[in-house]
Amino acid sequence: MTTATVEAPTMVMPKLDKLEKVYVIWLAGGSCDGCSISVLGATNPPLEHLLAGLVPGLPQLVLWHTVLSLESGRDYLKGLYAAERGELQPYVVVLEGSVTNEAQIKDGSYNKGSGGFYIAIGEENGRPITTTEWLDRLCPGAAAVFAIGTCATWGGVPAAEGNATGAMGLMDHLGKDFRSKYGLPVINVPGCAPIGDNFIETVASVLLFLQGLTPLPEFDELGRPAWLFGETVHRGCTRAGFYEEGIFAKEYGDKECLVELGCWGPVVACNMASRGAINGVGGCMQMGGVCIGCTMPGFPDKFSPAFAKPPGAEISALLAKRIAGTFIRPLRAITGRDKDRSIRWTKEVPSGWAARGAPSVFDSAVNFFYKRIQKSR
């Protein structure tokens, strides 16, 4: 899979002195807080280093978070109002969780007459201020707008078919023409939950751009950091070699390729298999689980039912078994056995661990021609 990249959008370059601080307004939509937990586990650099201003070249981050901030209630809201009035500059908006369609309550098309709301942060004159409204107030004045996690990027589980909230991703809500104060569309870092280092690295790259130290990093046509989501899970998976040779796991716990157990890795854009979940450790396939496509816009509906064998695997796995399994794997085994011998071991191998006699006639014949071809190059 090759993910196309797009030219940088027309931007208003920041005309600022070196940034000392950047305010991060973190808003909560329809979510489970898993993205916040993921970012707290980031190690390269860790979030606390950014908050303390310890990373060379990057400004100190001042985090205004619905859960992690010391401020709460009216004191927490003071930061949001200050950002809206332009008193916190520059600031970036981060949305965790999907955007709910509050309009369908207001116009009476759902739960008519309830006067309710889905998600709100504070109130104003006795009226709840929904997360959707805060986004409309704050995003246009932000230096950059980030959607973290699949719920915020594409809608995710809250936006699954049949949901009652009309949930959607942030770029669905803001529209394709949205641009931040400096001309940036919504920046998307998907995952359920995303890799914390993916998000921190993306934010750091954009901050370096805002500092005027680097060009804007490359993003693909969906606003994902291209260097992180340009390859499929399968290409970075340590089990991929088994797929190539037509060897598949029959049950969870087996070490072979998991495609026949329901893994969507060959088509999903994600670097979980190569980067790991936290500090290079863990991740779905490393821990024996299959990829269920959680970074993709079609998740979860187009990957349901989860853990069922993908239809495409019926063909690809069959071809891998019949072609690679029948021809390539045996030929590689013959070559491997030959390369496992010193040039001195023409007959038996002097190992006390296991008997290995002279190569068979068939192996010797194959390796004779193999060597002739090898030496001719």
Q: How many domains does the chain have?
A: 3
Instruction: Write out pLDDT tens, residues 126-161.
Output: 888 999 999 999 999 999 999 999 999 999 999 999
pLDDT above 80 (res 237): yes
Q: Are residues 238 and 308 in the same domain?
A: yes
258 falls within a domain = yes
Whether the CB-CB separation of 261 and 290 falls below 8 Å is answered with: yes
Is 11's pLDDT higher than 80? no
Residue that finishes a domain, picked among 213, 229, 245: 229
Which of 226, 213, 199 minimizes the C-alpha distance to 50?
199
Q: Are strands 127-130 and 91-96 parallel, antiparallel or unpaired?
A: unpaired
Quote the CA–CA distance of 74 and 92 in Å, as a whole number.
21
What CA–CA distance (Å, rounded) separates 146 from 170?
9
Q: Is the dihedral of CA 246, 248, 254, 258 positive or negative?
A: positive
Q: Which of 229, 249, 270 is the last residue of a domain?
A: 229
Three-state secondary structure string covering 310-327:
CHHHHHHHHHHHHHHHHH
Domain annotation covers residue 2:
no
215 and 334: one domain?
no
Instruction: Evaluate whether 203 touches 35 at the Cβ level (below 8 Å).
Output: no
Higher pLDDT, 314 or 84: 84
- Do 36 and 135 have their domain in common? yes
Specify the pTM.
0.86
Two tokens, residue 171: 């770029």
In a domain, 302, yes or no: yes
List strands edge to edge, sheet with 144-148: 60-65, 21-28, 91-96, 144-148, 187-189
Same domain, 199 and 169: yes
Beta strands (DSSP E) in the chain are 21-28, 60-65, 91-96, 120-124, 127-130, 144-148, 187-189
The answer as to whether 350 is a domain residue is yes
**Helix/strand/coil (H/E/C) assignment for every residue in 78-96:** HHHHHHHCCCCCCEEEEEE
Domain containing 25 equals 21-229
At residue 113, the pLDDT reads 44
Per-residue pLDDT reduced to its tens digit, 251-294: 999 999 999 999 999 999 999 999 999 988 998 998 999 999 99
The rounded distance, in Å, linking the Cα atoms of 9 and 207 is 17
**Token pair 């021609």 in the structure block, residue:** 369
**Beta-ladder partners of 127:** 124
Residue 3: per-residue pLDDT: 47
Same domain, 198 and 102: yes
- Give the angle 262-161-296 at the CA atoms, nearest 5°: 50
Mean pLDDT score of the chain: 89
Tell me the CATH number at 319: 4.10.480.10
- Whether residue 8 is contained in a domain is answered as no
d(CA 189, CA 151): 10
Which residues does 175 contact at the CB level (< 8 Å), separation at least 6?
Answer: none
Give domain status of residue 9, yes or no. no
